[in-house]
């Protein structure tokens, strides 16, 4: 079996599993963050459930350490009270990013399973562990039952051939891969990466690459840990673990060999992590700010890389550089090594450990018109503020902060760029309600022919503290260009038709619930983001998929009257008298739908 098949088999009551099987998977460690944690608790309480095993259950407060937002503060306190009542461990605001804590403290380990309300929980693939980001209902089910249902994904293997160029960092490796595969060519797959170059990847480098599996649409990127990785885990956790490896006869949908010697230092252009170009092609682009941190690049090797560039230099006038280590242990290690002193002497702001701007909390946000270069994993429009954001490696980010424009560590000017004035942008807001969900629905079609519509476009992260479903509808698509007025024009009974990878990105449940709030009766897409698909099914929100070309066969136009049968998969364009069959609900989906939801 492949790595993912071995892990799922070992955590199910099956002798073996194969792609497409739906099984209950026992979860070794179950976490909820300050974002989403309060909703998990409400799901537990409102459904009369209890915690299955407190020793395997955790809170990690990493989105907004300090509770700088009142609603975050209230949610954190609510979770703390529940934790005290149920003997649940809280990694509080002084701890750092929950996924990194799980690795460093041995909560996740090679061959284990881990879930969190963090869409980058698949970062565990760095150590050969199966981690998944899940929505509030999934996590509540895992807390109450100890296991969750999961569909075994197909596996692919990427073999990196050759020797990695010295200038190519781990962030460059994953940006090069994103430039090859985009946001949906690996959608729904478990991806194993191996090769001679991979054997020399450090733990920190593997974490950087695995953390952006979500941005590639993958279920997870998995590495088999070698002795050096096991040694690193032992130094961090004090525990010795066994390696897990795929067997030679394991079956993959495809195996691709990729020449890593052709990789170059890269940046992701603002808007999409998969819109990647060489650093050379965007050199001299002026910036207003820089950010070093996130679960992708906030570990010791990342901080050292930046410190080597910053030492003895000053950040350019008018440029703000914000640095956020991933964990408190890394913060202290950086202090002991003198890195914090280097950062402060250069003029950077160093914050306490956590997710920072990526989660709209703490530091890291940018303003309208502001141009930022960041080590984060996402640069969706509006994700980390209202400005534009390039993604790059720690060295490039640090060099750019000194220059005042995008550059590389070997090409830093003696005189920094002039200050750039930001240009403010205006943003609009919107309103709506809810309906029943029969097995056959009929309504007006919304046809949105756009791939990779992410959850920030659907329901922006600035509204994440909203927990009342009645309030959510008004914000649907207000960050999707051309559809900002969707909620105003939407009518109960509408059916949304779109293309590939709908719901890419975050694990936020609101991106599903906002459609239920408006009374949208179904979403039909060529494919869905993996976490989004689970959230919709678990919330009894009807979603169906079709094969490429079927949308054209229906001759579907905006506002056509359409009828959809969830049980048979028949779709009828009533307006144009055309019909065909798409993928119907599968059995588990239908069961959850008839039950009114997972819980």
My answer on whether 229 and 213 are in the same domain is yes
* Cβ atoms of residues 322 and 290 within 8 Å: yes
pLDDT given for residue 431 in this prediction: 43
Please state the rounded mean pLDDT for residues 83-87. 97
Confidence of residue 383 (pLDDT cuts 50, 70, 90): confident
- Strand pairing category for 388-391 and 371-374: parallel
Residue 380 has pLDDT above 80, yes or no: no
Q: With cut-offs at 50, 70 and 90, classify the pLDDT of residue 433.
A: very low
pLDDT of residue 420: 55
Q: pLDDT tens digits for 451-474?
A: 999 999 999 988 888 888 999 999
Average pLDDT over residues 317-324: 94
Domain range for residue 497? 440-594
**Once rounded to an integer, what is the mean pLDDT over residues 507-528?**
95
pLDDT of 531 > 80? The answer is: yes
**Pair 245, 337 in one domain:** no
* Stretch (H or E) spanning 342: helix 339-346
The reported pLDDT for the residue numbered 67 is 63
Is 311 part of any domain?
yes
Kindly report the average pLDDT of the chain as a whole number.
92
Q: Check if the beta carbon of residue 292 is closer than 8 Å to that of residue 397.
A: yes
Long-range (24+ apart) CB contacts under 8 A made by 574-582 are 574/442, 578/553, 578/554, 579/554, 580/550, 580/553, 580/554, 582/524, 582/544, 582/545, 582/546, 582/547, 582/550
- Give the residue-averaged pLDDT of 416-433: 57
Q: Tell me which of 108-112, 380-384, 399-403 is least confident.
A: 380-384
pLDDT at 360: 60
Instruction: Tell me the pLDDT band of 586, cut-offs 50, 70 and 90.
Output: very high
429 domain residue, yes or no: no
| Mean pLDDT of the region 77-103 | 95
pLDDT at 348: 96
CA–chain centroid gap for 29, Å, is 19
Confidence of residue 385 (pLDDT cuts 50, 70, 90): confident
The pLDDT of 364-375, averaged and rounded, is 86
pLDDT at 250 over 50: yes
Report whether 569 contacts 544 (CB < 8 A): yes
CATH code where residue 345 lies:
3.30.499.10
Q: Is 419 domain-assigned?
A: no
**Residue 227: its H or E element:** helix 227-237
pLDDT of residue 80: 94
Answer yes or no: is 322 within a domain: yes
> Which pLDDT tens digit goes with each residue over 159-215?
999 999 999 999 999 999 999 999 899 999 999 999 999 999 999 999 999 999 999
Residues 488 and 576 in one domain: yes
The answer on pLDDT for 144 being more than 70 is yes
Structure tokens at 577: 């008298």
Check whether residue 231 and residue 292 sit in a common domain: no
What is the predicted pLDDT for the residue at 63?
Answer: 82
Give the end of a domain, one of 262, 297, 319: 262
Judgement on whether residues 389 and 465 belong to the same structural domain of the protein = no
- Specify the residue for token string 């959608």: 187
Q: Is the pLDDT of residue 123 over 60?
A: yes
Arithmetic mean of pLDDT, 112-118: 95
DSSP 1-65: --HHHHHHHHTSS-S---TT-EEEEE-SEEEEEHHHHHHHHHHHHHTT---S-GGGEEEE--SST
Give domain status of residue 24, yes or no: yes
**Phi, psi angles (nearest 5°) of residue 596:** 80, 15
Check whether residue 241 and residue 331 sit in a common domain.
no
The pLDDT assigned to 361 comes to: 60
- Mean pLDDT to the nearest integer, 406-421: 84
- One domain for residues 347 and 367: yes
**How confident is the model at residue 430, as a pLDDT?**
45
**Is residue 303 in a domain?**
yes
Q: Do residues 158 and 188 share a domain?
A: yes
Q: Which residues of 135-159 are buried (b: 16+ CB within 10 A; e: fewer)?
A: bbbbbbbbbbebbbbbbbbbbbbbb
**pLDDT surpasses 50 at 432:** no
Same domain, 306 and 360: yes
Average pLDDT score over residue span 357-382: 79
What local confidence, expressed as pLDDT, does residue 271 receive?
85
Residue 315 DSSP code: P
CB 114 within 8 A of CB 31: yes
599 assigned to some structural domain: no
Same domain? For 377 and 254 the reply is no
User: Is residue 363 over pLDDT 90?
Assistant: no
Percent of the chain at pLDDT above 90? Answer: 80
In this predicted structure, the answer to whether residue 416 has a pLDDT above a threshold of 60 is yes
Could you read off the pLDDT of 13-64 as tens digits, one per residue? 899 999 999 999 999 999 999 888 999 999 999 999 999 999 999 999 988 7
Alpha-carbon gap, residue 470 to 485, rounded angstroms: 18
Residue 540 pLDDT greater than 70, yes or no: yes
Beta-bridge mates of residue 322:
291, 349
- Token digits for 557? 């136009």
Of 262, 296, 326, the position where a domain reaches its end is 262
Q: What is the CATH number of the domain that holds 490?
A: 3.20.19.10
- pTM beyond 0.75: yes
Split into its structural domains, the chain has a count of: 3
Say if 420 falls within a structural domain.
no
Show which of 231, 262, 293 is a domain's final residue.
Answer: 262
Residue with the two structure tokens 């239920």 = 516
The answer on 210 and 86 residing in a single domain is yes
Residue 305 sits in the same domain as residue 235? no
Amino acid 386: pLDDT: 82
């Amino acid at each position: 079996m492949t790595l993912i098949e071995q892990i799922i088999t070992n955590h199910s009551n099956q002798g073996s599993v194969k792609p497409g099987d739906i099984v209950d998977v026992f979860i070794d460690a179950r976490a909820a963050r300050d974002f989403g944690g309060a909703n998990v608790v409400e799901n537990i309480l409102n459904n009369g459930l209890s915690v299955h095993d407190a020793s395997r259950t955790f809170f990690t407060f990493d989105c907004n350490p300090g509770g700088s937002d009142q609603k975050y503060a209230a949610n954190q306190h609510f979770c703390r009270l529940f934790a005290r009542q149920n003997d649940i461990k809280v990694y509080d605001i002084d701890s750092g990013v929950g996924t990194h804590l799980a690795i460093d403290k041995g909560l996740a380990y090679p061959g284990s399973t881990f879930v969190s309300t963090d869409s980058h929980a698949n970062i565990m693939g760095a150590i050969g562990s199966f981690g998944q980001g899940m929505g509030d209902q999934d996590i509540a089910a895992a807390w109450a039952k100890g296991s969750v249902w999961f569909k075994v994904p197909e596996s692919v293997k990427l073999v990196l051939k050759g020797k990695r160029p010295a200038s190519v960092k781990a962030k460059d490796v994953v940006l090069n891969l994103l430039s090859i595969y985009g946001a949906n060519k690996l959608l729904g797959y478990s991806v194993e990466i191996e090769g001679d170059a991979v054997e020399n990847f450090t733990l920190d480098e593997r974490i950087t690459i695995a953390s952006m599996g979500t941005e590639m649409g993958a279920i997870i990127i998995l590495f088999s840990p070698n002795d050096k990785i096991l040694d690193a885990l032992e130094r961090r956790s004090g525990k010795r673990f066994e390696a897990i490896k795929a067997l030679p006869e394991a079956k993959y949908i495809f195996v691709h060999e990729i020449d890593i010697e052709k990789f170059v230092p890269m940046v992701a252009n603002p808007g999409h992590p998969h819109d990647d170009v060489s650093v050379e092609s965007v050199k001299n682009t002026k910036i207003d700010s820089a950010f070093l941190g996130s679960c992708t690049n906030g570990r010791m090797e990342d901080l050292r890389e930046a410190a080597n560039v910053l030492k003895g230099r000053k950040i350019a006038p008018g440029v703000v550089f914000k640095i956020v280590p991933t964990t408190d242990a890394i913060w202290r290690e950086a202090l002991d090594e003198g890195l914090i002193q280097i950062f402060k002497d250069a003029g950077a702001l160093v914050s306490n450990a956590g997710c920072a701007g990526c989660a709209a909390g703490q530091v890291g946000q940018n303003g309208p018109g502001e141009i930022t270069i960041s080590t984060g994993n996402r640069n969706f429009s509006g994700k980390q503020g209202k400005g534009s954001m390039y993604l790059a490696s720690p060295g490039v980010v640090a060099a750019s902060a000194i220059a005042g424009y995008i550059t590389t560590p070997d090409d830093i000017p003696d005189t920094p760029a002039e200050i750039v004035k930001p240009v403010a942008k205006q943003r609009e807001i919107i309103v709506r309600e809810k309906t029943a969900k029969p097995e056959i629905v009929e309504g007006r079609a919304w046809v949105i022919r756009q791939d990779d519509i992410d959850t920030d476009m659907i329901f922006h992260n600035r509204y994440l503290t909203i927990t009342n479903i009645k309030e959510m509808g008004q914000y649907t698509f207000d960050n999707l260009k051309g559809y900002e007025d969707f909620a105003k024009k939407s009518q109960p009974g509408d059916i949304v038709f779109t293309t590939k990878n709908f719901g890419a990105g975050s694990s936020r449940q609101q991106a599903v619930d906002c459609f239920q709030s408006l009374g949208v009766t179904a979403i039909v897409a060529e494919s869905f983001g993996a976490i989004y698909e689970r959230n919709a099914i678990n919330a009894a929100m009807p979603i169906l998929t079709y094969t490429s070309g079927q949308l054209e066969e229906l001759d579907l136009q905006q506002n056509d009257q359409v009828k959809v049968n969830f049980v048979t998969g028949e779709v009828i364009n009533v307006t144009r008298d055309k019909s065909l069959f798409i993928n119907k609900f599968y059995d588990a989906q239908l069961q959850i739908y008839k039950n009114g939801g997972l819980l």
